[in-house]
Amino acid sequence: MIECQNGIHIKGTNFWLDARRKVDFSFISHAHIDHAVRHKEILTTKETARLYEHRFGRAKFNILEYNQPKRFDSAYFVTHHAHGSKFEKPKSKDGIKVELFPSGHILGGAQILLEIEGVRIVYTGDLKLRKCLTAKKAEVKKCDILIMESTFGLPRYIFPDRKEIIDQITEFVDQALSFGQVPIFLAYSLGKAQEIMKILGLRGYKTSVHQAIFKIAKIYEKFGVKFKNYEHYQAEDLEGKVLIVPPYVRGSRMIKKIPKKRVAILTGWAIDSGCKDWFGADEAFPLSDHADFSELMEYTKLAEPQKIYTVHGIPEFPDFLRKEGFDAEPFKESTKVTKTFSKELLLNYVLFIRD
Ligand SMILES: [Zn+2]
C-alpha cells in the first residue's frame, strides 16, 4: 500500500508525503530543508506554508488547519492501481479522508492521518512529544499503519527532563556573563533558535540574534509566538547579551572577532560524547526538537498500530519495536547511521538536516 522512494507514496493515489523530488501533489510536514521540495501543489498548514515561502519562494498551497478533516475525491487517485491486497486498490468513490494534527516539532509542524477504505495511516514527519514554548504539543492518534521518524531510535538517546536542561543552560549563561564573556548558542535557525530565544527572553535575558534567526522569529510572531528582549545582531553591541546564531556560523569572522566568549551547541546529539568538540563548542546541551528514544516508544504504545515503518534515522530502531511485540521495519532508504557516528555525518545532521 505504501512505498518509499524519494519520499513516501500511497500507492494508487497521487498522495506523496514529504516527497524529496518534484511531484504533482505532496504533503509537507514542516519547513526544514530535508522535508521541503518544490512541488506543483503542496498540502500543509498555514504556518508551514509561510515558512516555506520565506525559505523556498512562492508555491501553490492547499492549506489545512489542524484537526479539520477534509475528504479528497477521486481526482487524487491515479487510474492504474497496483495489484495485490485490498490495501493496494483504494476505491475512488470514497476518496481519501485527510487530517493534519500537531507534531510538536516546530511551528506549523504537522502529522497526517489518511483514511482509505477504513485503513488509518499516520505519518509523523519529525516529531517531539515533550512540551515546548514555540510549537503546539504533539497529539497521538490510533492507527493501523504508522510511518514514523526514528532520528534518536537507540536506547542511549534519553534526554534529561526539560527543566534540568534549561537550568543547565541558564547556569551556563550566568557564568559566562559573570566573567564578562559573551554566551553564544549555536542553534538551527528554524525552530531551535526560536525556542532558546523564548526560553531566555522569559527569564529576563537580553538576546542578540543572527539575521536568519531574526527573520524567522518575525514570522513566528505573526502567528502569535511572541519573543521578549531580543534584537537583530550588532557587532558592537553585545555586552550583557546572549548571542544566538545558526551552527554554520561557528567558524566565521563574526564569531572569531568576539574576544571573550563561551560557546554552546543545542542539539539532541549532545548525548554523544565528543559532540561539543566537533562543533568547537565549550558545552553541548541536549535541547532537541525531536523525540528521544523513550518518547518514540511511548508514541507507538499510544498509537497501537498493526504495522510500523520507520524513516529518517536509525535503521536499528525497529529491532527495539519488535521486542515490544510490534510488526516493524525500516523503509529501505533510511539513512545508515548509527552506533558509530562519524564527525562528518553528525555535522551534516546538525548543521543542515536533523538537529
Ligand atoms: Zn525537522
Give pLDDT tens digits for 126-171.
Answer: 999 999 999 999 999 999 999 999 999 999 999 999 999 999 999 9
222 Cα to the center of ligand 1, angstroms: 21
Ligand 1 center to residue 251 CA distance, Å? 24
Q: Domain residues for 230?
A: 162-285
Domain shared by 22 and 120, yes or no? yes
> If we measure between CA atoms, which residue out of 341, 303, 340 comes closest to residue 321?
303
346 sits in which H/E element: helix 343-352
Res 13: pLDDT: 85
Distance 85 CA to ligand 1 centre (A): 33
Instruction: Give the pLDDT score at 104.
Output: 98
Which of 246, 264, 285 is at the close of a domain?
A: 285
CB atoms within 10 A of CB 136: 19
For residue 219, the SS3 value is helix
Q: How many domains does the chain have?
A: 2
Residues 152 and 181 in one domain: no
| Separation of CA 201 and ligand 1 centre (Å) | 23
d(CA 85, CA 321): 25
Residue 6 shares a structural domain with residue 149: yes
315 lies in a domain?
yes
- For the cut 90, the answer to whether the pLDDT of residue 108 exceeds it is yes
17 three-state secondary structure: strand
Q: 115 forms bridges with which residues in the sheet?
A: 97, 120
- Assess whether 188 and 110 both reside in one domain: no
Q: Are residues 177 and 113 part of one domain? A: no
> Helix, strand or coil for residue 84?
coil
CA of 54 to the centre of ligand 1 (A): 16
Q: Is 172 helix (H, G, I), strand (E, B) or coil?
A: helix
Residue 349 falls within a domain, yes or no? no
Distance of CA 184 from the midpoint of ligand 1 (Å): 22
- When pLDDT is averaged across residues 187-204 and rounded to a whole number, the result is 97
Is residue 346 a part of any domain in this protein?
no
| Beta strands per DSSP E along 187-229 | 206-209
Identify the band that residue 14 occupies on the pLDDT scale cut at 50, 70 and 90: confident
Check residue 263 and give its pLDDT: 98
Residues 33 and 152 in one domain: yes
Pick from 24-38, 43-57, 269-283, 305-319: least confident: 24-38
Tell how far the Cα of 180 is from the centroid of ligand 1, in angstroms: 35
Residue 34 Cα to ligand 1 midpoint, Å, equals: 7
Q: Give me the pLDDT at residue 75, please.
A: 59
> How far does CA 157 lie from the centroid of its chain?
16
Residues 91 and 209 in one domain: no
**Which of 268, 285, 302 is the last residue before a domain boundary?**
285
pLDDT band at 337 (very low <50, low <70, confident <90, very high): very low
pLDDT at 242 exceeding the cut of 60: yes
Distance 264 CA to ligand 1 centre (A): 20
For 54-74, the pLDDT digits (tens) are 988 899 999 999 999 999 876
Are 321 and 192 found together in one domain? no
Same domain? For 266 and 203 the reply is yes
Residue 65 falls inside a structural domain: yes
Q: Residue 234 maps to which CATH number?
A: 3.40.50.10710
Handedness of CA 154, 156, 161, 163 (dihedral sign): negative
> In this model, does residue 100 exceed pLDDT 70?
yes
Query: How many angstroms separate the Cα of 119 from the Cα of each of 87, 96, 97?
Result: 8, 10, 10
Last residue of a domain, one of 221, 252, 285: 285
Query: Distance from the CA of 57 to the center of ligand 1, in angstroms?
Result: 19
Residue 353 has pLDDT above 50, yes or no: no
Where does the pLDDT of residue 85 fall: very low under 50, low under 70, confident under 90, or very high at 90 and above?
very low
Q: What is the pLDDT of residues 249-293, one digit of tens each?
A: 999 999 999 999 999 999 999 999 899 998 899 999 999 999 999
Kindly state whether residue 351 falls inside one of the protein's structural domains. Answer: no
* 323 CA to centre of ligand 1 in angstroms: 27
- Split at pLDDT 50, 70, 90, the class of 346 is low
Distance CA 210, CA 249 (A): 9
Residues with CB under 5 A from ligand 1 (ion): 32, 126
Identify whether 347 is part of a domain: no
Same domain, 40 and 58: yes
Per-residue pLDDT, averaged over 229-255, amounts to 95
Cβ atoms of 313 and 152 within 8 Å: the answer is yes
The whole-angstrom distance between residue 141's C-alpha and the CA centroid of its chain comes to: 19
pLDDT band at 345 (very low <50, low <70, confident <90, very high): low
Cell triple for 103? 507534531
Residue 350 lies in a domain: no
Angstrom CA distances, 330 to 4, 77, 151, 297, 349, stand at 10, 26, 12, 15, 19
Domain match, 174 and 275 both:
yes
For residues 143 and 9, state if they share a domain: yes
The CATH number covering residue 81 comes to 3.60.15.10
Tell me if 348 is assigned to some domain: no
